A = this chain, B = another copy of it.
């Protein structure tokens, strides 16, 4: 008996659930959990089904291909521990949270390596006896730096790349190479602030809320389909450093939440947004 997560995305039309559930029954799969959503604007039917059975995944996929519309996307993903590579820069809070959960067996993922453009996180990673790769960005172009990072990533073929406060802008080539596989976390404010040290700006603006957004990386580092968001209340008594510290707590929790969702194949990206089942 094997568990799979079946993701179907197809133009909406009558009878889809009937056709899909019949195929599953015919091929010997039982439905353990099922979520559907119809995006009416895009006339898109989305379905995530957790199925258990002795049947073969490729035969199910073929079967579904024959009964569903031509331009459907069908993925039959075996439920297994995923491999991740974590990228960081200097801040330890997000990386540390992942390391602790990994160490205590709460994270259903194997951390293959941590890569950083600074040396400072190396000691922490080595405490957990995990491979640490320091790839400095100094003395090389953005392309040269990324080439080295990609070489290391590719040597592991990870399922996911987690940017745990990785403070480098990614090139379109990098984003495209790992399309849909890069998870990022960034601070979020109401209103938003661009430019250097957003916490200083937020402090100067007197915000009463500090947020964090975890998202799949598309083009721009801080844009891309949102998976999870949360906030924490602050007030005038917070210095900008205290705001940053408060932000760190919410960042690590939101990143971990989003990572858990991705590890269970619960996130589907369409357009610039997500369905999270």
Contacts and interface: CB of A to CB of B under 8 A. Distances in A.
Interface of A: 14-18, 21-22, 24-25, 30-38, 41, 91-93, 96-97, 99-101, 103-104, 106, 124, 127-128, 188-192, 204-209, 211, 213, 223, 225-231, 233, 235-237, 245, 248-249, 253, 256-257, 260, 271-276
Contact of A100 (B36, B96, B209, B228): B96
A204 to B, nearest CB: 7
A228 B34 CA distance: 23
Contact of A209 (B192, B230, B235, B274): B230
Contact of A191 (B15, B188, B248, B273): B188
Contacts of A37: 236-237
A104 B96 contact: yes
User: Mostly helix, strand, loop or mixed at chain A's interface?
Assistant: mixed
Contact of A18 (B22, B38, B92): B22
Contact of A226 (B35, B192, B205, B223): B205
Contacts of A257: 249
A36 B249 CA distance: 27
A41 B104 CA distance: 27
Given A17-B34, A96-B96, A127-B128, 4 more contacts: A93-B100, A127-B127, A231-B231, A253-B253
B206 A274 contact: yes
Given A209-B211, A272-B205, A25 B35 contact: no
